[in-house]
Structure formats: C-alpha cells, structure tokens
Chains A and B, each alone.
Chain A
C-alpha cells in the first residue's frame, strides 16, 4: 500500500515540464491533483520512474473565456471551475457535472484536465467533453496539437496522449447565457462511481425551440458515448414529452455496454433512456426557472 520509488520533479514552467517529459518518455507521469493517479501508485498498479508535479507551474493555472471557448489550463482544480462565474455563465454543462465528480476533498485538489487525461470510462467530465466537442490541447517539446474527443478517448484509461506529451489545456465551447444543462447519474453513492451518467446541454431559439442539443453518456461503453441519434430527434423541437421519450429510447439502440461489477449490460441499457429523459427535462426546466427571474 505504499508506492514504489520514483524521481520527483517540480517544474515551475510549462517548458521545463515538457523537457522532463521528453527525457523520460513513457516512464513519467504528470502529478496534478493525484486523485486518480495516486491510488494506482499506492497499490503499485503503476510504477513510473518519474513523477512530474505541475502543482507549482503557474503557466498552467488559467481559466478564461477566449473568443468562443472557455480555456481551462491543466492546473485548474475542479472546485475552481465549479465556483467560476465564467464557467457557470458560458458552460453550464461543465458547471452541472462538476458537483458529481467525487467529494469535496477530491474536487479541491483534482483537476479538470487530470480527470480527462486519466480517461476513466466512468468519469463525468469525459461525458461533458464528448457532448461539447471539447478540444484537447496537447503539448510536447516538439510542438502542439489539438484533438477532438473521438480521437482523444481511445478506451478504458487510454488516450491518444503520446509519451513525452501532456494535456496542457482543454477548450470548452462557450454558449449564450440562456443555454441550460443538466448532469444526472445513478451510482452506489452520491460521490461514488457512476454506473451510468448522462450529460445534456440545450441551446434555444428565442421561442424556446431547441436550436442545438448535446448529449453524451458514461457507463455504456469503454469510452463516453455521444448520443447523436437522440440529439437528432430532439433538435428543432420544443422538447415535448413524446419526443423526449422517443429520443431516449432511440439512444439505446445499437449500444453494447460492457458488463461490470456494479451493473450488467442489460441494466445499463435499461437505465440509459431514463437518465436521458431526466437530464433533458432538468435542463429544460432550468430555462424556465431562469426566465422567471
């Protein structure tokens, strides 16, 4: 229950960080919040030669609206994003999902980018990134590249981050003030792992018609699943009950969720439409609560 030995680095700049990563290649891991990584180290499931702590790297601590995106640097803690006015105004889905990401002690230290880079198939933020077509900014000493969720998430705990590379920041598309969102999940405990979770964000025409619908789920695949069929059914509608139900049930067709310790595939397929319905209704209701104020 104690980690194996490692060399420890605490670079002060992004450039230093990248140089250490280049030196160690796949033998180094980034240490940010450590909430996902350190349990693996404590159990010796992972034994990297070097740990590169970005906790002292102010270059990576930025969260701001830049043109059409909210840019979230690698050192932004989940709790910072949760309390950010920029996030609540311009990315309501991220704001809605964050309270579900573990308990307060985990969110105080865990980072937004860290959760994404770890790519646990049940991580709520992976559904958010997938639903929103977030852009993943990868950096190494050789330069930068930007990838989309379908290229980033390769499988359970697996991303396209190459040895020597790190996730420097994530860009979430900004939406207007009247967009609403919801995140719902079922799981053993409020702060435990999700069994299935659904992220929903709605953007509206002035008359309330759904101009754009973004939906994604965790727990129904080894990576987060974008629910495009359901999105298609709901777009350009007013979100009436029948359409929401139709979309929810259509979403499950063709999916082959993994079995798992907490729930089998059949359960996941059964629960998914229920959660989609709830998420859409909740997001929808939030618009009308907004309008009342």
Chain B
C-alpha cells in the first residue's frame, strides 16, 4: 500500500515537474534579460563614450541568454512556452540591435535570421525584425525588398496608432509600401515621369487604400479610423486625386474639432491641407490662404509656427520678399518659443536678404544667428553662408577673413560646449573650413579626430571614408587614402563598407606602387 502511494506521489511530482521547470527556466531568463536590459539602458545614456568591445560583450550576454535558455521546457502553444520564446527572441533582437550599432552586420543578420526562423509565434518581435530589415533594405535602396519586409508586418501585427513600438508604426506601413513601389518604379526608369503611374505602383496604392478603408470600417469611431483617413488623404494626394485628399482632410479636421477628447492636432491637419493644395496647384494663392489660416484658427497649435515658416519659404520661392519677411517677423514675434523653427527662419531671412542684395542686413542676421540659437544646424551654417557670399562676389580678402572668422567661431563653440554630442557637427564644419583654407593636413587630422571619437559607430566609418576621399581627391595623396581605408577596414571588419575599404586599400596601394 505504502509503495503504491509512493509511486503515485512520484508520478504526480514528475508530471508537475515539467511545468515547474518551465516556470523556473522562464524566471531565470527574465532575470538575466532584466539585468542585461538595465546595462543596455545604462550604456545607451552616452553610447559614444562606450568602447565597441563593451557593446560586443553586452551583445554576447544576450546571445548567451538565448543560447542557454531551454525553449523546449514546456509544451509548445502554452502560455509558458510563449513567454520563454518571447524572452529569447527579445534577447536576440537586442543583440542584433547592438551589433547593428557597432557595424557588425554579419552578427546582426544571424540574430535577426534566428528570430525569423525559430520564433514565428512571437509576432511582435518578428514585426520588429521585419521593420529593421525593411530599413536596411531602404538604406541599400532595395525598395521592393524593403516593401516586402514591411508587408510581412501587416500579416503579424494589428495597428495601434499612438502606441509605442511596432504596433504604433503599423498604420504607416501600407502607405510606405506603396511609396517604396513608386520609388522602385522611378529608379527603374529614370527621367520617365509616367513611371509613378505604372501598373504595379497603382496596384500598390490601391492595396493601401483598400487596407485603410478596411480599418476605417472595422472601427469607425476609433483613432485607428482617424489615422487611416489621414493616410487615405496621403494616398489620394500621391495619386494626384487632390480633391479626394482635400475632402478627407476636411472631414478629419471637422471630426477632430468635434471630439474634445481627441489627441490629434487639427492645426496639423490644416497644415497638411495646405501641403496638398501646394502640390495640387501652381498658383500660390489658395495655399497661402490655408497656411495663414493655421495660426489664425489654431494659434496654439505647434503647426502654427511651422505654417508661418512654410509660408515664408513659399513666398521666398515666389519672389514675394516682403510677404516672406512679414511671415518670418510673425514667426519670431508670435512663436519665439519655437527655437528650432526660428533658427531656420533666421537662416532663410539671411539668404533672402542676401539674394535681394541687402548684404549688410543679411550679414547682421548671419552674425546674430549663432548668438541667438547656438548649436542649431542653421547657426553652424551661418558662418559658411558669409564665406559663400564673399566667394560669390569674388572678394578674396573678405573670403579669407570670413573663413578665419568661421574657424575662430567654431573653435570658440568647441571650447564653450565641450560635450561630445555637440562637438561632432562643429568639428565637421571646422574640417570643412580648414579644407576651404587649403589647410588640408589640419582638415584631415580633424576628420580623423572625429572618426576616432566614434569608435565602432557606423558614423565613424562614414567619416573615415570621407577622410579617405579627401586625401585622394583634394590632397592627391593615394598612399594616405589607402592608409585610411586600411585603417577603416581594420576597425569595421564586419561592415560592408569595411570589406569594400579593405579591397580598395589594396587596389590603391598597387596603383601607388606602380
């Protein structure tokens, strides 16, 4: 009797054990992932200060977690198995993202590939991988492949506009896919304007429209429907159906205005209407009216400041200088808080005044821009605008003086704002100024300094490539170019540019020795 009881208990315990081991396995994976994620967040605060070896170790930590977790501890299909698969897939995606960050495309592809091959039951992460793959294809200008990758996401994930991550981005995908097909068609027949209306492109836009209409029908009163309608307007505008696009946007604006709880900005919708109008008709009048209506009807909308800058740009393009300057005055006076737009506004003002032959006023604007909006992109461009003017009027003395002044200003900025993130664009501009002064050696040193400050970062590889081109084209120094390319190949052996640089360095060395 006792023996039977013992056997029964043992069997029950063993039956329970499988599931309990699965719980334990999930817990251990969660713990390891939590600690790795915390380290990832910590390193991501100032990623540029982190050695690529540290990143590699972190990626290895994720891979070890994925390798060491028993994904067969519980029966497939149950929530526990799903949890463990999600954890492992997340670890692989994070590892892939780190590899992508340090330019190791081989390891990145391997990890993404594993997620696609083994974890189709984790749609969110499959979607994340497909999104990353789509972006990579776009970067490589493989438009159709990118479209295919994005389309797969639609099969896995429902759109949830406003949500973080992939579900929040799904709403963009049908339109993005159609636009990628259009781009592919344009690339296939350069110069052929009818390519944008080719059959595959039309089919892609029709599919996008159908999908958006389906989402609207499924949840007519939801944010999904509103956002789908916004994209429908884009689809119509892309296809040249301006009236349809405007009609959709009017409907959306009315809907948002009627719904006080809506988080969408009606000012933005009005701005979109102006953009559609501007594409629809060459006459600037209706577009101007719409742009002016944004700050009038929605003065508190962030789109109001953007509308004034767009209006100024439009007027400047039409040669209506006074109107453009009026719009810029309004932008400066009424939306002083929109610093980035105001910086761009000042740059536009300076260029406009320079074009109109009002150089002293333009110079004043270019000089005050770095003071009012230091570190903004327009502020960094302003000294070079001054140089460009004196070059245009062929005043060698003033050009040299402007270059010296630009160099001094950039160096002062570097002293005043030594933080790593701000120094990189300044140093790039400084290298440009040095090159313009024909101080090639110093320019090259500056470029290499920037590349050294971005270890393991693809941006660093791009700067090194720029330096090699500079050595080759501007300095005529093939040996130096080969040396830089060789260095690039050593630093980025797993990046395509690294492999290309290795081959190119060999070729250049051979050419130089001949």
The answer to whether A and B belong to the same complex is: no
Which residues of chain A have a CB within 8 Å of any CB of chain B? none
